[in-house]
Amino acid sequence: MHVPIERIDRDDLQGLIDGKAREAKNIEYKRETYGGKEADRAEFLADVSSFANAIGGDLVIGMDAVNGVPTKFTPFLGNADAELLRLEQMARTGIEPRIPQLQMRTVSVETGGVVIIIRAPKSYRQPHRVIYVGKNRFWARSSAGKFEPNVDELRALFIRAPELAERMRQFRQERSDKISSGDTPVRLLDNRCLILHLVPFSHFEFGPAISIEQVIRDANYFPPFGVKQRRDWQLNLDGITMLMSEQAAQQRSYVQIFRSGIIEAVDSCLSREQQSLDLKEIERSIVSYTYLHITGLRDCGIYPPFAVLVSLVGMKGIRLSLRKTSITSFIREQIVDREQLYLIEVILEQIPTSIAELALALRPILDQLANVAGSISSQSFDEEGNFLFQK
Span 217-257, pLDDT tens digits: 888 899 999 998 898 999 999 999 999 888 788 999 999 99
Task: Give Cα 386 to chain centroid, integer Å.
Answer: 23
Query: Among 179, 96, 170, which residue's Cα sits nearest to residue 135?
Result: 96
> What is the DSSP annotation of 286-339?
HHHHHHHHHHHHHHTT--S-EEEEEEEES-TT-EEE----TT--S----B--SS
Peptide bond connecting 75 to the previous residue in cis, omega within 30 degrees of 0: no
Whether the Cβ atoms of residue 203 and residue 212 lie closer than 8 Å to each other: no
Amino acid 390: pLDDT: 61
Tell me the angle at which helices 38-52 and 80-94 cross, rounded to the nearest 10 degrees.
70
Mean pLDDT across 30-43: 93
CA atoms of 280 and 369, how far apart (whole Å):
10
Mean pLDDT of the chain: 88
pLDDT band at 327 (very low <50, low <70, confident <90, very high): very low
Lowest-pLDDT choice from 59-73, 152-166, 180-194, 290-304: 152-166
Q: In this prediction, what percent of the chain has a pLDDT beyond 70?
A: 93
Proportion of the chain above pLDDT 90, given as a percent? 56
Q: List beta partners, residue 106.
A: 116
3-class DSSP string for 107-170: EECCCCCEEEEEEEECCCCCCCEECHHHCCEECEEECCEEECCCHHHHHHHHHHHHHHHHHHHH
Q: What is the mean pLDDT of residues 16-34?
A: 94
d(CA 10, CA 330): 61
CATH topology of domain 5-149: 3.30.950
**Is residue 207's pLDDT more than 60?**
no
Residue 273, pLDDT > 70, answer no
Checking if the pLDDT of 157 tops 50, the result is yes
In whole angstroms, what is the distance from residue 158 CA to residue 162 CA? 8
- The reply to whether the predicted model has a pTM over 0.85 is no
Compute the distance between CA of residue 46 and CA of residue 24 in angstroms, rounded to an integer.
Answer: 16
279-299 helix and 363-373 helix, angle to the nearest 10 degrees: 160
Give 69-117 pLDDT, tens digit per residue.
999 999 999 999 999 999 999 999 999 999 988 999 999 998 899 999 9
DSSP state of 388: S
Q: List, in order, residues 6 or more apart from 29 with CB less than 8 Å away.
A: 23, 60, 63, 64, 65, 68, 70
Among 222-231, 288-297, 333-342, which stretch is predicted with the lowest mean pLDDT? Answer: 333-342
Domain ranges for the chain: 5-149, 164-373
216 Cβ contact list (under 8 Å, min separation 6): 233, 240
Highest mean pLDDT among 163-167, 203-207, 267-271, 346-350: 346-350
> What span, in angstroms and rounded, lies between the C-alpha atoms of 388 and 385?
9
C-alpha to C-alpha distance for 296 and 175, rounded to whole angstroms = 22
Residue 319 CA to residue 336 CA, distance in Å, equals 6
Q: Determine contact, residues 253/267, Cβ cutoff 8 Å.
A: yes
- 149 with 138: CB under 8 angstroms? yes
What is the arithmetic mean of pLDDT over 360-388?
Answer: 90
Distance CA 56, CA 120 (A): 5
Indicate if the pLDDT at residue 360 is higher than 80.
yes
Mean pLDDT for the stretch of residues 382-387:
87
For residues 330 and 4, give the distance between their C-alpha atoms in angstroms, rounded to a whole number: 49
Q: Are the C-beta atoms of residues 110 and 72 closer than 8 Å to each other?
A: no
pLDDT > 60? residue 169: yes
**Can you give the pLDDT at residue 235?**
95
- 246 vs 287: which has the higher pLDDT: 287
Of residues 383, 379, 343, the one with CA closest to residue 364: 343
Selection from 129, 126, 206 nearest residue 161 by Cα: 126
Q: What pLDDT was estimated at residue 367?
A: 94
DSSP label of 27: E
Identify the H or E element spanning 234: strand 232-235
- The CA distance from 81 to 5, in Å, is 17
Burial class (CB in 10 A: 0-12, 13-18, 19+), 355: middle
Report, as an integer, the average pLDDT of 275-285: 87
Average pLDDT over residues 39-57: 92
Angstrom distances, CA of residue 214 to CA of 155, 202, 221, 246, 299: 40, 19, 9, 20, 9
Summarize pLDDT for 1-19 with one digit per residue, the tens: 667 888 899 999 999 999 9
Which pLDDT band holds residue 326 (cuts at 50, 70, 90)? very low
